[in-house]
A and B are shown apart, each in its own frame.
Chain A
């Protein structure tokens, strides 16, 4: 089977945060138009759209999101498909967009991700997010998402002596990065003490260990690499697009201290991209909770199991550290409009690889990785991007 190389030729992002001014449509338009402009294409050029969203129905009552995106962006009656893969909806949408272009079926494809979460009370939003786990056994028993990740954190602390300070270190670093990102939800630096003293949500996870409830949208324009220069001076090549799944129930997994789907997807991605984990100097990882970033650092092979927490406190993962993790601020600092997150991660990496990340630019970024998780780890999507020249 011959596959075409695929490039990202346009990226767009809405401002993330509590977007009282905007509904789904406005958020889609904000990110979508930016991506089309970035790729210097018109609405008429787009052949298909893949739209990632997790729970628009629960959050806003609106389903049928991909057709709505196509409609709102003025696309001309093109095929539009919604992808729901919990918090990995965006990453999964990107992978399908990649497959559509790589296969030769379509040339210009838009991948969108959106979530409008603040129109419902936060307890209701939490219940909707709970649908990413096993409704019948986890949610039915009142086991929340912070609860699931808290049990992973507690086990990680038990097995590897990971500390609450290490968890807090992730939040502090990601807020510091978000401070430099105008699209980010938070522009407030945190201290370890502030994180440790924040309200307990599900021990050991405190409020500032958790990503926020956010509104936002992100969009990408994909094209075959061979024609990519037509659209953008610095097309970014997708070196690998891989994904894996696991049991929906956390309890049924082999291990609580890592996400197997992440390791499996990463392994395949490194092979496909012909790179090693330690070639990666830039990564956007799925830090829905601080413990999730620590596990991701280990599952992606950046650090040995049990060593990631210390690396965070040692500053190795800060901007222009040994490996720059979550330069956007991550889900924690930039915000986590669930369906948009996986797409936003790619937007950030593209900006970094193009050298357009401004005061949060990673020096000499050549290869970047995105890592998007659904639920407590039933889905993981890993993409690797590289400068094409």
Chain B
């Protein structure tokens, strides 16, 4: 087992359902969720915010040389997605045959991110696919 399973479980709402946070003081929306708003600091009043998972590709790249954990997954495409609600978020972009370019509209899907060998846990995550 390479990673403690608690570290996934702790962020399951964000990883499965793109639940981030919204600062009621300034209205800024955040994903992944955070406790302290970057704008408001100590004045933050944070509540949960569910994002649709729809957005647009800001940039992307195909990883050809992966870290050990992802050696069987390469090559894979990752990108930075500007969610419709504002925040920018990193994630995998599934190659579903449609062109992936800067500006491509994507939606969130549910996939495995990482399977820890034959005996470790399976980590599930949002990924994006072009629409």
- A interface residues, Cβ below 8 angstroms from B: 123-124, 126-127, 130, 136-144, 146-147, 150-152, 154-155, 158, 199-205, 247, 249-252, 256
In the bound complex, do residue B78 and residue A252 qualify as a contact, i.e. CB atoms below 8 Å apart? Answer: no
**What's the Cα separation between A285 and B68 when bound, in Å?**
30
Q: What is the 8 Å Cβ interface bit string for chain B, positions 117-130, against chain A (1 contact, 0 not)?
A: 00000010100000
Known contacts being A144-B67, A202-B65, is A155 close to B59, with CB within 8 Å?
Answer: yes
**What's the Cα separation between A127 and B64 when bound, in Å?**
14
**What's the Cα separation between A130 and B32 when bound, in Å?**
18
Q: What is the 8 Å Cβ interface bit string for chain B, positions 53-80, against chain A (1 contact, 0 not)?
A: 0000011111111111111010010111
- Please count the residue pairs between chain A and chain B whose beta carbons lie under 8 angstroms apart in the complex: 98
Q: How far in angstroms is the closest Cβ of chain B from A157? A: 9
In the bound complex, do residue B90 and residue A152 qualify as a contact, i.e. CB atoms below 8 Å apart? Answer: no
Q: Which residue on B lies nearest to A149, using beta carbons?
A: B61
Q: How far in angstroms is the closest Cβ of chain A from B57? A: 10
For B7, list chain A residues within 8 Å (CB): 136
In the bound complex, do residue A143 and residue B78 qualify as a contact, i.e. CB atoms below 8 Å apart? Answer: yes
In the bound complex, do residue B61 and residue A151 qualify as a contact, i.e. CB atoms below 8 Å apart? Answer: yes
Top 8 closest pairs, chain A to chain B, by CB? A150-B61, A142-B70, A151-B59, A155-B59, A251-B88, A127-B67, A123-B68, A251-B90
In the bound complex, do residue A250 and residue B66 qualify as a contact, i.e. CB atoms below 8 Å apart? Answer: no
For A123, list chain B residues within 8 Å (CB): 66-68, 71
In the bound complex, do residue A256 and residue B80 qualify as a contact, i.e. CB atoms below 8 Å apart? Answer: yes
**What's the Cα separation between A201 and B62 when bound, in Å?**
8
Indicate the member of B60, B61, B65, B88 with the most A CB atoms within 10 Å.
Answer: B61
Which of B59, B64, B78, B79 is in CB contact (< 8 Å) with A152? B59
Which of B58, B59, B63, B125 is in CB contact (< 8 Å) with A144? B63
For A199, list chain B residues within 8 Å (CB): 64
For A158, list chain B residues within 8 Å (CB): 59, 102
In the bound complex, do residue A126 and residue B90 qualify as a contact, i.e. CB atoms below 8 Å apart? Answer: no
For B59, list chain A residues within 8 Å (CB): 151-152, 154-155, 158, 256
